[in-house]
Amino acid sequence: MVKVKPIGAKCTWCGAPVVVTNKYKRATYRKTGRAYCSEDCKRKWLSRRFSETMAATNRKYAAERMRRNNPMHRPGVRAKVSKAARIRGWPASVKRGGNGHGPTVPERTLSDALGWPTHITVSCGKGSRSAGLPSHYKIDVANPNLKIAIEVDGRSHNTRRRQAQDRKKEAFLRGQGWIVLRFTNQEVMDDLAGCVWTVMSTILKSKTPTHT
């Protein structure tokens, strides 16, 4: 009778030492690299694997499914929503900006008034990810020569998470020598002249020599 040499392994779930002697389990271990110290550990690992696989599948197909089933893509639904908004006196929506989108109406309005470009990209440099930063930041309206950055904020910036992101972005830009100004969409649309005056005043102050 041929002796079967046992295989020393670790439980794939809990890490406990396992001695694989069963012929079927030995073949499975050689093929998959997985072994279990108990059926309970095997069930737990398979359950987690199933959940991870389903989550990955959902991430892959859910976005497309949501776009396909979005009722706002139906002309009749869009017409009803627009009619209801007009009855309630809601203002027309302002197109969101950001990656892949053009500037918002307030951003374009301030940009045209100043003659400055929109969506200027500032690289965060090598190793930015390990430092907890994105690869780059995008400034809504800016003058790169004067290093003045203007952020034009919508209501999404009122959340705590977004405010924390804004503070991190400002700290980085200031550390790179930028002056950062911040206006709300409402301020730009209601008092454009006041916003422009604030920018011009900032330029004058930045050029004024400090005497000691």
Give 30-84 pLDDT, tens digit per residue.
888 888 999 999 888 888 887 777 766 665 665 565 556 655 556 676 666 666 6
| Nearest-angstrom CA–CA distance, 118 and 141 | 4
Contact present, 59 and 30 (Cβ < 8 Å): no
| Nearest-angstrom CA–CA distance, 168 and 113 | 28
From residue 32, give the alpha-carbon distance in Å to each of 27, 36, 132.
9, 12, 36
Q: Is the pLDDT of residue 206 over 90?
A: no
pLDDT band of 86, cuts 50, 70, 90: low
Q: Is the pLDDT of residue 149 over 90?
A: yes
pLDDT tens readout for residues 158-174:
888 888 889 999 999 99
pLDDT tens readout for residues 177-189:
999 999 999 999 9
pLDDT tens readout for residues 6-21:
788 899 899 899 888 8
Domains identified in the chain and CATH numbers: 105-207 (3.40.960.10)
Least confident stretch, 8-12, 108-112, 197-201, 207-211: 207-211
From residue 181, give the alpha-carbon distance in Å to each of 102, 141, 159, 189.
21, 10, 19, 16
Amino acid at 21: T
Q: What is the pTM of this model?
A: 0.51
